[in-house]
Chain A
Amino acid sequence: MKLSGAQAIVKVLLEQGVETVFGYPGGQVIPLYNALYDAPLHNVLTVHEQGAIHAADGYARTSGRTGVCIATSGPGATNIVTGLATAYLDSVPLVAITGQVQVQHLGRDSFQEIDIVGVTIPITKYNVLVRRPEDLLPTLRQAFRLAQEGRPGPVLVDIPSSIQSGEVEWLEPEAEQAEKQASENIEDVLKAAAVTINNAERPVMLVGGGAIHSAAEKEVMDFARKTGMPVVSTLMGLGVFPGSDEQALGLTGMHGHIASNMAVANADVLVVAGSRFSERVTGDRNRYVSKKTIIQLDIDPSEVDKNVMTALPLVGNLKDTLTLLTSRVHKLEIKPWWESIRAWGETEDQSAKKGDKLTAPWLMTELNRNYQGTDTIFVTDVGQNQMWAAQHLLIDKPRHHLTSGGCGTMGYGLPAALGAKLAKKEAQVVHIAGDGGFKMTGMELYTAVNEGLPLVSIVINNCCLGMVRQWQEIFYDKRYSSTILTPFDFVAFARSCGADGVTAKTCEEFKAALAQAKEANKPFVIEAVIDQCDLVIPMVAPGAVIHDFVDPGQK
């Protein structure tokens, strides 16, 4: 059967189970958009290609399925670069389809010709330019397979418009032989790991984003319950182990809780499930390891010994390796260890949650009161808002806390929230941003209105780029260089997009605003005005050991 290349692309998308794509048309994807016109696929037309790829990312993180993004050549393609980098650093499965100039115009600096494959080599799991019609189908199918296989990631397929317009012979997919992975003999490591854990006096389990990709929440819970050890989470791992559980110590790292960081710092055994030991997690890597024995479980062999030297690496899918490990460990007698941890926990300042003034920590606890036990997905932006959310929201399920962890992409939140809502319409989606990040991609509120998505979008407005300002306050002698922002009317902006919104300056006003937002049947922005001087604490200085907390009052 002969089809146009564009029709074949659509047919592959349908074959792969794609129902929603996020994109923006342009000169070199007109044939593809022509084929999409009457296809049983929903194309979400965003305001900007960056919005499209972040939305596809939010869709993928929420559903676990591959997100699909379409952009034209040249600026369309370069506009998705930040989104690819965001997905790459957080291991999110995406397929990005970019249009390219006709094959005969390649390499001639044609109008809107950019070597997007060259540009995106370092930020994609794989990328490829399709030069021949016969390569189109196998390349697209390979892209979907690669995006999900092993450690997930984004794949870019660059398709010249002449290939989209030309004819291809439709071939049904061949039954794929699952690639047999060479399995390492891990029996010896398993035995040693089990002995180490069973003899531990101060054990801690650290859960990262890899546990979400492996859907290993049950295995994490089984291991934690069986051993009784405390569980800390990286930013990307929040929700794998329920944040409200008694064994959960919450966030660890630069803005980790005192109990969490102290436990990691003083642990004799650290069991790490799916984390790459980012420097935001470890602080000073040399002192992070100290005298503890690290048991690292990861699907990606290149993560072993990449950032910290691991005594006992277990490479493989976490579901398998954790199950094997759990079967070999027993309940630990660690009562004195838990007493120490609780004592550390009691030293953390909770005054910002009192409710005598509107603060971000209070706001997060109010969100917990409103949404705990419901199917709510929190999508945060980057900066202070992200860290306050990570510290204080109680995330009890995986795929219910979306954030740009590795790349730290400001502007990620709103379009990702849009994608999350489309992936799971029955869930409530709450977007949390700062005033700076909201303004970067805020026009996607218009997309949310067009799509009829009743998001709740909370803008924590401190009239500044808060996290940079915080560093300037603590480390740069209060020289607030280019971080203080002028006022912006978020409510008027929301209304101009067809959404609604209110401003809250007190706790009572916030409660009323949230009640109003929950009843709204369209996107609703709550501008929560907080003090510019509010800091995210606890905080560890960059490069310091993770239990060496900054005391802003001393600076």
Chain B
Amino acid sequence: MSDTLVVKAKNEETLLPRVLRVLAQQGLSVKDLRMSTSKDAKELELRITLFTACAEQASKLLAKQVAIMAVSMGYSVQKKAI
């Protein structure tokens, strides 16, 4: 079983290290990562497949990142944190 996270974010130069750091801190390993930009290159979408299925806390922590607009995890969408 593995989780897939879909992260929508502003296209900032530090976005990727922030995302990977959060995952690594939670002990999660990335199996597959695909990235695409919006037409105006202002937004990024990351589709991250993990080796394991326990990404709920990572999803909450990612949603707290300022540049990140939304995180969805399979069935649920993590609302932007306060």
Residues of A within 8 A of B (CB): 117-118, 121-122, 125-129, 146, 149-151, 181-182, 299-302, 304-306, 315-317
Mask for B10-23, Cβ within 8 A of A = 1, else 0? Answer: 00111001100100
**Which single member of B13, B18, B21, B82 contacts A150 (CB below 8 Å)?**
B82
Q: Which of B7-57 contact A (CB under 8 A)?
A: 12-14, 17-18, 21, 25, 57
Q: When A146-B66, A306-B57 are in contact, do A301 and B18 touch as well, CB less than 8 Å?
A: no
Q: When A125-B66, A150-B81, A182-B79 are in contact, do A305 and B57 touch as well, CB less than 8 Å?
A: yes
Nearest-CB residue, chain B, relative to A305: B57
**Which single member of B14, B25, B80, B81 contacts A117 (CB below 8 Å)?**
B14
Q: Are A302 and B60 in contact (CB under 8 A)?
A: yes
21 A-B pairs with C-beta separation under 8 A: A121-B21, A122-B21, A122-B25, A126-B66, A128-B14, A146-B66, A149-B82, A151-B82, A181-B80, A182-B80, A299-B82, A300-B64, A301-B79, A301-B81, A301-B82, A302-B60, A302-B61, A302-B63, A305-B57, A315-B82, A317-B82
Residues on the B chain within 8 Å of A300, using CB: 64, 81-82
* Bound-complex Cα distance A301 to B59 (A): 11
Nearest-CB residue, chain A, relative to B65: A126
Chain B residues bordering chain A, tally (CB within 8 A)? 17
Q: When A125-B66, A126-B66, A151-B82 are in contact, do A301 and B60 touch as well, CB less than 8 Å?
A: yes
Residues on the A chain within 8 Å of B81, using CB: 150, 300-302
Nearest-CB residue, chain A, relative to B25: A122
* Bound-complex Cα distance A129 to B12 (A): 10
Q: How close is A136's CB to chain B, nearest CB, in angstroms?
A: 16
Given A151-B82, A182-B79, A317-B82, output 12 extra A-B contacts at Cβ < 8 Å. A121-B14, A122-B21, A122-B25, A125-B66, A129-B13, A149-B82, A150-B82, A300-B81, A301-B81, A302-B60, A302-B63, A302-B81
Nearest-CB residue, chain A, relative to B81: A301
Residues on the A chain within 8 Å of B21, using CB: 121-122
* Bound-complex Cα distance A118 to B13 (A): 10
Q: How close is A124's CB to chain B, nearest CB, in angstroms?
A: 10
Q: Are B17 and A118 in contact (CB under 8 A)?
A: yes
* Bound-complex Cα distance A150 to B79 (A): 14
* Bound-complex Cα distance A301 to B58 (A): 12
* Bound-complex Cα distance A143 to B14 (A): 16
**Which single member of B13, B14, B57 contacts A302 (CB below 8 Å)?**
B57
